[in-house]
Amino acid sequence: MSAYEPDGRTMRERMLAGDPYLADDPELVAGVVRAQRLQEAYNATGVDDLERRRALLVELLGSVGDDVAIRPPFYVDYGTQITVGSRVFANYGLVALDVAAITIGDDTQIGPNVQLLTPTHPVDPGPRRDKWEGGRPVTIGSNVWLGGGVVVCPGVTIGDDTVVGAGSVVTRDLPAGVVAVGNPARVVRRVDDPA
């Protein structure tokens, strides 16, 4: 059986399992509409409206730790597959497309216009034309710093204490405690290396 054939599961079940799914499924569309309404309200909050902002974030996301600050605008696909640890700060323009799980560890700092991307699409033109999609999780460790404009691709894990330079495109896992830069991002040194 092809991965693109019906197998008795709903498209949402397939998506959550990381298997190919059709994003125009009514249940999935309803989830996107819910997220768009919540993020629209979140993005309209004022600088003095921190209590409402927190309440909307808790409703939108799967899990939110203490003392989290995500500056609007903030964009998601569903929101429900995003877990944010405590004391996380994300600057303006975070895009977190969560067709698969996105996990952000405690004390992580995220620069402006960062993209955390879990969606994948078939390379084969037939299934892509038929609107099949997939997803692979993104995991950001604790005390990570993602510079402005960083793009984290599907399936990537970034280890604790790692720094990713502005404008980098992370296509592969990065270990803990390193500095990585470039497109594709490559490790240039350890964070504890004084040089």
Peptide bond into 73 cis (omega under 30): yes
Q: Which two tokens stand for residue 172?
A: 């592969």
Q: Which of 164, 166, 159 is nearest to 145 (CA)?
A: 164
Angle among Cα 35, 39, 153 to the nearest 5 degrees reads 75
Phi first, then psi: give them for residue 30, nearest 5 degrees: -60, -35
State how far the Cα of 142 lies from the Cα of 104, in Å rounded to an integer: 7
Residues marked as catalytic? 121
State how far the Cα of 62 lies from the Cα of 78, in Å rounded to an integer: 9
Q: Which two tokens stand for residue 186?
A: 């490559």
